[in-house]
Amino acid sequence: MSHRGAASGAPVREFHMEIFGVPSALLGSQLLVGLINGSFYAILSLGLAIIFGLLNIINFAHGAQYMMGAFVAWIALTKFGINYWVSLLLAPIVVGALGVVIERTMLRRLYKLDHLYGLLLTFGLALIFEGIFRDQYGISGQSYEVPELLQGGVNLGFMFLPIYRAWIVVAALTVCFGTWFMIEKTKLGSYLRAGTENPQMVQALGINVPLLITFTYGYGVALAAFAGVLAAPVYQVNPLMGSNLIIVVFAVVVIGGMGSIMGSIVTGLGLGLIEGLTRVFYPEGSAVVVFIIMVIVLLVRPAGLFGKT
Amino acid sequence: MNNNSMFARATPYLFGALFVIGLIAPFAVYPTFLMKILCFGLFACAFNLLLGFAGLLSFGHAAFLGTAGYVCGMLVRDVGVTPEIGIIGGTVVAGLLGWVFGVLAIRRTGIYFAMITLALSQMVYFLVLQVKATGGEDGLQGVPRGNLFGIIDLSNNISMYYLVFAVFCIGFFIIYRTINSPFGEILKAIRENEPRAISLGYDVAKFKLLAFIISASLAGMAGATKTLVFQLASLTDVHWHMSGEVVLMTLLGGLGTVLGPLIGAATVVSLQTQLADSVGSWVTVIMGVIFVLCVLLFRRGIVGELQALIQRAGIR
Amino acid sequence: MQNKKLTTLACAAAFAALSGAANAQISGDTVKVGVLTDLSGTYSDLAGAGAVLATQMAIDDFMAEAKPAFKVEMVSADHQNKADIASNKAREWFEREGVDVATELVTTSTALAVMKIAKEMNRVALMSGPASTPITNEQCNDVTVHYTYDTYALANGTARAVTKQGGDTWYFLTADYAFGQALERDSSAVVTANGGKVLGSVRHPFPASDFSSFLLQAQASGAKIIGLANAGADTTNAIKQAAEFGITPKQALAGLLMFISDVHSLGLKNTQGMYLTTGFYWDLNDDTRAWSKRFFEKQNRMPTMVQAGQYSSVLHYLRAVQAIGSDDSAKVMTQMKKTPINDFFAKDGQIREDGRMVHDMYLVQVKKPEESKYPWDYYHVRQVIPAAEAFQPLSESRCPLIKN
């Protein structure tokens, strides 16, 4: 610990090494922050990829559903006193159930049409959800306290790591790899993969494909809501919190290629890290770096890093 | 076939009537409102050329509308050129940007195409936000309307209206000619069955790119004109919500119909104007509901449904 | 429908003809006040519906006190913080609806757009919400009043107080657009002038939700003070996340533009000890408490400085119209500038030639949770900054109307 004391406001610094003129402490901590952002990208792009795999639509409402996850947690806490840990399960169920309703009543009618209609429908839904929450709760954002168990932080030497941020990474990665395991290694997953390849064949084998589709959409939406609950204590719970994030996630999806589950997870994390690096070397560029990478990937490998051509 | 030729025969009369209405409208209706409709109408028509006739859903058309608006504003305000040069300048830059977008986006189709255009336009948004010359969050303000050809004073709303009307007619004519040319036929063939068009020996990528550039240029023309009308260019014009709005206008009016986008633009603009005061933030919700209803129930849009209605009546 | 539009047009023409007559007359025997504000966006809590309410209160109080021979009407609209919407609405109000004065106009971009149109159409613009100094400098005109506060006054209050109390090294976290940059520039000047040092700044995109990486950069700078040159949700998010990363209380934050609504939504726990500059606090004296209580009864929130300033500015305008019996912009402006403002909001407030209304500002410090005795008991008033010192002196003005 440095002993310059609090009065001088000296930051926590152990290492004084520099890499390319940047203190290694700053580099390390920014990469860690990048990893945290990457966790959100990963879990959201994973949800998009799962939905896309079976339904062949891009769920434009994904950002709104992420926002709704955060709001469900917030409403549960302030109105009913339901704590964070319950919300972590409750919000995905509630929002996922809404997703099931949407799939049953609306998306289902569009499967025979051009897939673009799915995109347009979910765009409309996103507008509706955002508008309703905006009207009800205003836009300046609601606070959600970090749960007691995860308050405070640890001094890693090169940075002060809030325990809650570490929890985000752990929780997001657990869910991501759990999902990957379920799809790649279980029987349900094998139906799902088969349904992606050849729905008629799977149906002929006596598996209820429409139910499988409904379940998949609900699960993808639930993932978004789960991410929303994770995000609630870090960012203000805000009706527009999803709409800015979702465009970046779209770019992540284009870069990754949506071909593989693992691909979307890895791409999400990787881009988070790259964004973190950009923030060290050229902060103004951090908003566009993902898009620039997307352009490069498109030029070199149009199908995306993990895409099947 | 029969009905199509019926439409073909009626078309010149319809256009003539609309033209006359367009000429006298500013004396009956608030001109600024009309100019807004015409600008968005042209924007939607340009967008429709791509989606309705080439089957390409661009979710980034705001980039062209907005960039051209900024270019035109800077030319007129900071360089001091006359308004018509400003509009041409904006249109050309939008076309060039369209070329860049097009080259990147047509590498993929369908949903990927939509997402790529969306991401690219978001990048343009951030650039506009950060470049000093655009005024960032404040927008490019205080753009003078100037004198057309150095002679006609455009600060008068009526003269400004006729310029906008003329721009709209030019743009509309270009789109109409494009659709009804051999080039337009090839676009439709690509939309219906791309592999077949390829096997027939067409360089599909080249046609798509050309369509994209034309559409981007005309969207830019609308944006440049809009900047002159409202005397400012702002981030709203480059934001992805604007890209969504033009999809809504086109979808509501009638995808792939000639007049649909104009009708759609007029409806959306009127709704927004009427609703803004009475329902406040519910405007977004209402737009969303219209979107959903269009996709689920009225995929042909207003004009498409009307045509179908007339067709059915004709058969009977 | 068409007929209705024709009638409206005819009315508009009639209004135009009447105001063209320009004698000591009130066009249409009605003074129409337009409130153009953010009813749904980031700033709706600090302006928004509360500003509309404040306007209505001003009109009601005026009608009761003056019993004028003319009618006063209010229209309001949501500009969504977008210059284009504000500009269209103002144009429509002036051209078609005979609105005499456009008011509130939170967000610099909307303010700049509307003041240009007001000038073009010769109407008055009263600005209570926007912050940037260009309104009374490079962009100034003779139909605009910048009423409540500006970035200079904020920087001058907060940055000076903090620097003088030993916070002499600064690092800025700046929203990357004109307003943030103006705030950073004004504050840096104040810090340097008071013997402090600016170690650097980082620009964040607007709006941003995750500030952790920017905060870490500020942390690495080792500055004692991290100046937040942003507003609304950006400020509140940055404050929350600074606490999370253990940056506060090791380094202190200075919110350069904060409203009581921000303190309310963040809670005292997150904001205690912060200095901020405000043009109004509800709990200053009996007058402010009396008015704020009336406001609270209707809005269920205490007024922000923007809402209080809105009331004061509208009342001052209406009194000027009453005094000269005309709503002609030039005459009303002359009358407004020559009359000092005395109400619960300002004592001996004065509108200068550049359109700047100068009045006392207050440097306040946010209370600790245990010091707060009753709801909305949030501030210690540490210093009253007299009007003469609070704002940019005319000698430094870059306004073309001022002949230096």
Q: Is pLDDT larger for residue C338 or for residue B135?
A: C338
- Contact B280/C40, CB-based, under 8 Å? yes
Mean pLDDT across chain C, nearest whole number?
A: 88
pLDDT at A309: 54
Residue B205 has a pLDDT of 86
Out of A198-212, B81-95, C49-63, least confident range:
A198-212
pLDDT of residue A64: 95
Tell me whether B278 touches chain A (CB under 8 Å). Answer: no
Chain B residue numbers with beta carbons less than 8 Å from the beta carbon of C85 are: 236, 276
pLDDT of residue B238: 92
CB A40 within 8 A of CB A202: no
Phi, psi dihedrals of residue C104, rounded to the nearest 5°: 75, -85
Measuring CA to CA, which residue among A11, A30, A24 is closest to residue C199?
Answer: A11
- Asked if C213 lies within 8 A of A140 by C-beta distance, the reply is no
In angstroms and rounded to an integer, the radius of gyration of the C-alpha atoms of chain A is 21
- Residue of chain C nearest A245, judged by CA positions: C209
pLDDT value for A223: 95
pLDDT exceeds cutoff 80 at C40:
no
Q: With CB atoms and an 8 Å threshold, state whether A37 touches C210.
A: yes
Could you give the CA distance from residue B271 to residue B268 in angstroms, rounded to a whole number? 5
- B297: nearest CA partner in chain A: A109
Per-residue pLDDT tens over the stretch C207-259: 777 788 889 889 888 899 999 998 877 888 888 888 888 887 788 899 999 99
Q: Which residues of C touch B136 (CB under 8 A)?
A: 176-178
Nearest to B282 among A131, A251, A302 (CB): A131
Contact B16/C at CB under 8 A: no
What's the number of domains chain A is made of?
A: 1
Residue B133 lies in a domain: yes
Q: Which residue has the higher pLDDT, C234 or A100?
A: A100
pLDDT score at A124: 93
Predicted confidence (pLDDT) per residue in B30-77, tens digit: 888 899 999 999 999 999 999 888 888 999 999 999 999 999 999 999
Q: What's the rounded Cα separation, in Å, for the pair B61 and B70?
A: 15
The verdict on a CB contact (< 8 Å) between C236 and A153 is no
Q: Where are the beta strands (DSSP E) in chain A?
A: 18-19, 22-23, 153-155, 160-162
User: Which residue from B minimizes the CA distance to A128?
Assistant: B285
pTM check: above 0.80: yes
Of residues C3 and A50, more confidence is placed in A50
Q: Which of A192, A61, A33 is nearest to A133 (CA)?
A: A61
Mean pLDDT of C380-396: 92
Q: Which of residues 200-259 of A touch B (CB under 8 A)?
A: 247, 250-251, 253-254
- What is the pLDDT at residue C323? 93
By C-alpha distance, the chain B residue nearest A292 is: B123
Of B137, B142, B235, the CB nearest to C179: B137
- Give the Å distances, CA to CA, from A64 to A60, A77, A96, A244: 8, 20, 12, 10
C301, pLDDT greater than 90: yes
Type of residue found at C310: Q
The 10s digit of each residue's pLDDT in B194-221 is 888 888 888 888 888 999 999 999 999 9
Cross-strand bridge partners of residue C365: C275, C380
Q: How far is B231 from chain C (nearest CA, A)?
A: 9
CB contact under 8 A, A121 and B280: no
Give the residue on B whose Cα is nearest the Cα of A60: B115
What is the number of other CB atoms lying within 10 angstroms of the CB of residue B215?
A: 29
The per-residue pLDDT for C332 is: 95
Whole-angstrom distance, CA of residue C400 vs CA of residue C139: 8
DSSP tag of A115: T
Mean pLDDT of C10-26: 49
Question: Which residues of chain C have a CB within 8 Å of the CB of B137?
Answer: 108-109, 177-179, 206
Question: What is the average pLDDT across C41-65?
Answer: 91
Three-state secondary-structure class, residue B252: helix
Which residue of chain B comes nearest to C6, CA vs CA? B28
Cα A99 from Cα A50, distance rounded (Å) = 14
The string of pLDDT tens digits covering residues C71-121 is 999 999 888 777 888 888 898 899 888 999 999 999 888 898 899 999 988
pLDDT tens digits for range A113-137:
887 888 889 999 999 999 899 888 8
Residue of B nearest to C85 (CA): B236
Give the largest CA-CA distance in chain A: 73
Distance from CA of C298 to the nearest CA of A (A): 18
Q: How many pairs of residues across B and C have Cβ atoms under 8 Å apart?
A: 83
Rounded to whole angstroms, the Cα distance separating B225 from B232 reads 11
Mean pLDDT in residue range A256-284: 85
Q: Which of A204-208, A305-309, B203-207 has the lowest mean pLDDT?
A: A305-309
Q: Is the pLDDT of residue B224 over 70?
A: yes
For residue A299, the Cα-to-chain-centroid distance in whole angstroms is 26
State the best of C40, C212, C236, C247 to mutate against chain A, taking most chain A CBs within 10 Å: C212
List the single residue in C with minimal CA-CA distance to B226: C84
Half-sphere exposure of residue B67: CA atoms within 13 angstroms, side-chain side: 30
In angstroms, what separates the C-alpha of C244 from chain A's closest C-alpha?
A: 6
Whether A94 shows a pLDDT value over 90: the answer reads: yes
Domain count, chain B: 1
Question: Among residues C322, C269, C260, which one has the least CA distance to residue C288?
Answer: C260
Which residue among C204, C207, C220 places its CB closest to the CB of A26? C220
A9 contacts C223? CB cut-off 8 A: yes
- Is the confidence at residue C277, as pLDDT, over 80? yes
Q: Is B282 on the interface with C (CB under 8 A)?
A: no
Q: Chain A within 8 Å of B122 (Cβ-Cβ)?
A: yes
Does the residue A12 lie in any domain? no
Nearest residue of chain B to residue A297 (CA atoms): B104
Q: Which residues on chain B are in Cβ contact (under 8 Å) with C178? A: 135-138
The set of chains that have 3 or more CB pairs under 8 A with B is: A, C
Say yes or no: A49 contacts chain B, CB-CB below 8 A.
no
Angstrom distance (rounded) from CA B23 to CA B161: 9
Q: Which of C213, C220, C251 sits opposite A33 (nearest CB)?
A: C213
* C152-278+361-390 under CATH 3.40.50.620, yes or no: no
| Arithmetic mean of pLDDT, B131-145 | 80
Structure token digits, residue C259: 């409203």
B290 touches chain A (CB under 8 A): yes
Contact between C82 and B276 using a beta-carbon 8 Å cutoff: no
Q: What is the mean pLDDT of chain A?
A: 84
The pLDDT of residue A22 is 64
Q: Which residues of A touch B285 (CB under 8 A)?
A: 127-128, 131-132, 135
Q: Which domain holds residue B120?
A: 31-239
Q: Residues of chain A with pLDDT > 70: what percent?
A: 91
User: Cβ neighbours of residue C8 under 8 Å, at least 6 residues apart?
Assistant: B30, C96
- Which candidate, A159, A154, A181, A213, places its Cα nearest to that of A46? A181
pLDDT at B151: 80
Give the pairing of strands C225-229 and C252-255: parallel
Distances (CA, A) of B217 to B129, B227, B259, C180, C357: 22, 15, 19, 34, 47
Residues of A in contact with B275 (CB under 8 A): none
* Contacting subunits of A (3+ beta carbon pairs below 8 A): B, C
Which of B137, B158, B227, B284 to mutate to probe the C interface, most C CBs <10 Å? B137
φ and ψ of B88, to 5 deg: -65, -45
Of the residues C43, C84, C137, the best mutation for testing chain B's interface (the one with the most B CB atoms within 10 Å of its CB) is C84
Predicted pLDDT of residue B190? 84
d(CA A251, CA A58): 12
Q: Which of residues 124-183 of C touch A (CB under 8 A)?
A: 169, 176
- Asked whether residue A96 is domain-assigned, the answer is yes
Q: Given the DSSP bridges, would you call strands B147-148 and B152-153 parallel, antiparallel or unpaired?
A: antiparallel
**pLDDT at residue A13, rounded to an integer:** 42
Contacts of B277 in chain C (CB under 8 A): 75, 77
User: What pLDDT is stored for residue A237 in this prediction?
Assistant: 86
Put simply, the answer to whether B111 touches A115 (Cβ < 8 Å) is yes
Contact B299 A113 (CB under 8 A): yes
pLDDT band at A6 (very low <50, low <70, confident <90, very high): very low
CATH code for the domain of A292: 1.10.3470
Q: What is the mean pLDDT of residues C39-47?
A: 81
**Comma-separated ranges of CATH 3.40.50.2300 domains in chain C:** 28-149+285-359, 152-278+361-390
| Structural contact between residues B291 and A121, judged by C-beta atoms closer than 8 angstroms | yes
Q: State pLDDT tens for residues A46-81.
A: 999 888 888 888 899 999 999 999 999 999 999 999
CA distance B166 to chain C (A): 22
Q: How far apart are CA B87 and CA A65, in angstroms?
A: 41
Residue of chain A nearest C213, judged by CA positions = A30
Q: B122 contacts in A (CB within 8 Å)?
A: 247, 251, 291
Residue A301 has pLDDT above 90, yes or no: no
Q: Is residue A61 part of a domain?
A: yes
Q: Helical H runs in chain B? A: 2-24, 31-54, 62-74, 83-105, 110-130, 157-179, 182-192, 194-199, 204-230, 240-253, 260-279, 282-296, 301-315
The answer to whether C265 contacts A140, with C-beta atoms less than 8 Å apart, is yes
Of C220, C252, C266, the CB nearest to A25: C220
- Domain C28-149+285-359 matching CATH 3.40.50.2300: the answer reads yes
